């Protein structure tokens, strides 16, 4: 393979590897604290039963609220906590990370294949034996 083509294909492969490299970098450097449920969309205590259970001194918070056994002091006045007073926000980072794993593996495989192909092209290992002998002569 002529040097001109070897350089062309090396630059082409390196530039194509830039796509998965930037995608991997972007995904791996994003902040993990941005995946919280927005405060305006916080879930009420009864609606969160399938995702979380909160216990106070061994008793479920839902039961304490339903039986009016939980109160807070607001400005010196004790007030019973109702089910609508309790809101929950969830951190969905673990779900997002698990959903992105197959894509990250594809990007990593593309990067590995690109590096191998770049090394083969840059060193001239993809040429046929007859082409190597002709280039050496």
In this prediction, residue 39 carries a pLDDT of: 84
Q: Summarize pLDDT for 65-116 with one digit per residue, the tens.
A: 888 888 888 888 888 888 788 888 888 888 888 898 999 999 999 999 999 9
In this prediction, residue 115 carries a pLDDT of: 92
Buried b (16+ CB within 10 A) or exposed e, 55-85: eeeeeebbebbeeeebeeeeeeeeeebeeee
Tell me the average pLDDT of the chain. 84
Q: Summarize pLDDT for 50-67 with one digit per residue, the tens.
A: 888 889 888 888 888 888
Picking from 72, 67, 66, 69, the residue whose alpha carbon sits closest to that of residue 84 is 66
Picking from 134, 46, 37, the residue whose alpha carbon sits closest to that of residue 82 is 46
Q: What is the pTM of this model?
A: 0.57
Each domain of the chain, given as residue ranges in start order, spans: 1-35+92-137, 37-90
């Amino acid at each position: 393979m002529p040097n001109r083509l070897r350089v062309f294909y090396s630059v082409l492969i390196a530039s194509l590897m830039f796509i998965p490299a930037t995608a991997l970098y972007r995904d791996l450097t994003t902040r993990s604290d941005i995946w919280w449920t927005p405060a305006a969309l916080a879930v009420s205590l009864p609606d969160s039963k399938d995702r979380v259970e909160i216990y106070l001194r061994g008793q479920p918070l839902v039961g304490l609220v339903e039986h009016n056994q939980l109160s807070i002091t607001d400005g010196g006045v004790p007030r019973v906590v109702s089910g609508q007073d309790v809101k929950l926000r969830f951190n969905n980072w673990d779900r997002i990370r698990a959903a992105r794993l197959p894509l990250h593996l594809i990007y990593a495989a593309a990067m590995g294949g690109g590096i191998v192909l770049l090394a083969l092209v840059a060193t001239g290992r993809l040429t046929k034996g007859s082409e190597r002998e002709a280039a050496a002569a």
